[in-house]
A and B are shown apart, each in its own frame.
Chain A
Amino acid sequence: MSSYAHPAPLQQKFSSGFAGAVVLHVAVAGILIGMAFLHPFQPKHWGEDAASAGAIQAVMVNALPLPTKAPPIDHSVLASENVTKAPAPPVKEKTAPPPTPNDLLIKNKVDTKPPKVAPKENLTPTKHPLPTPDSPKATTGDAATQLPQAVTQSVNGTATVTVQNRSFGNRYAYYLRIVGSMVTKNYNEQHPDPRASQDKSVSMLFDIQRDGTIQNLRVETASGSPTLDAAAKRALLEIDSFGPLPEGDHITIEYKFDYHHP
């Protein structure tokens, strides 16, 4: 209620303040315009043809004020500029020179080597049969095939096919190899139970008739794992014929299968 009581002094105060504000604005505008007249806008272009214009001013001097060189340090081995002398290598012991070839006298020593000649292919083949070296030493390779048996490796075991007639096995080793590979081909490595058959072996006996068919198939030694026995038996039962026998009426084959799962 009291603020509405004095309207006249409020209006007076406002008019004097308004006049002050106008004067202040005019003064600021005047200062800006005056400054613009005193210092007109002159953009300086970089690289202008002027004595003091440009970004860099280079001054030619005769010497650069480099820092003074520190004196060499002598007391510290690592910091020293002087190279430390390496110790001299140990003195080599003198050995006697090796004897020259002429020093030792060997009887009938031929000095000059005969010139090397490329081996010529033997165009006159040797007569057959080649003599087999008679040595008690057990050899590998060719001698192994002379045994009347064929060994075939499968994924999880070894199949050994042995013929009881030794002379047949020696004479017709190729037939035995065919028997071995056919049996292994028909053997299904999924059939035996891996845990029950591990490290067990089954051996079976059968006859091959003149026409190559299997007869009298029987288990000679059971493995103790029925699945392995059945797989070995099935491998043989699935074979129709091994092909006609090269000689004789029938042969008896022992087929042994060693199961070993890697």
Chain B
Amino acid sequence: MKTGLIVLVLIGVASAIGSALLPRTFYQTPVFKLLLFLLLLNMFLCTSNRIRLTVRLLLAAPTSKAWYRNLGILLLHLGIVLILIGGLMYSVYGQNERIHLSAGEQVDMQRVLDIEHPFTLQLDEFRIEFNEDGSPSQYISEVTILEEGQEVKQVAISVNHPLNYKGVKAYQYSFGFMINAEYVTEDGEEKSGSFVEGALLQPGGTERKVKIFKYIPNFNPAHGMNTVTLRPDNPRIIFSVYEGDKFLGVGAAAFNEPVEIDESVNVTFTGVEPYTVLEVKHDPGLPLVLTGGITLMLGVCLALLMAPGRKSNKDHQ
């Protein structure tokens, strides 16, 4: 048990230092992983010992409170061992990726994750629902699952409601907007396209360039570049104009309002198209981690409820 406690203390101290100095990256370092692995080894041994002890106690006094307490403590340790093994399985076999999808787009899951059952995910619609005050109330990706071109089912993925299909989980992770713009190119062609924030447009008939800086759903100059709410109550596209490297100015354009870049050269922002960002994951260790978590919770409750009875010191008097 001493070794185990030393490992516990080391993990605690390492976590604290890691959290202060290297948040995020520290916990991926080999040193920290080694500590967790040592904990797993130690707890595996101590749990095996506990199993023997509990069995012996069961044979001696099967229904005593002490036996249940021991069982509780055993389950608590066993739960942690299962969680650590499940975590180890994730770090070896787990896969996770993020996918960006606009409405109508499809993704072949076998191209994203190394999985046995191939299927295709198609985004039908991404939408944001709002509260009365304009704050977001839910982000929803309506998707269709296809197998060999055949529609299997339609599912709504939203925050707290992931998709779970054939060992793949998909979570509503983030979202963004593509900005639609129309302008005449140098070849004299009418061009209309979807652009990411930060894209640079080169309209014809001028040396000037237009940088699409940011989409602001609810613009108010008093809030600067920050939107008042996510609800598109007053949508604007923030853009800037350059000539060579020289910055000429910045503006906030409404949809479908032609912006004059140079004499008789216009760019029109016609709207935005939302896209969803889904986190897709394959984690064979997840069932084990969940079982471990439940075992731990059962164990800790049992151990507490069966804690040795104590007489109050009022009773002593």
A, B bound: no
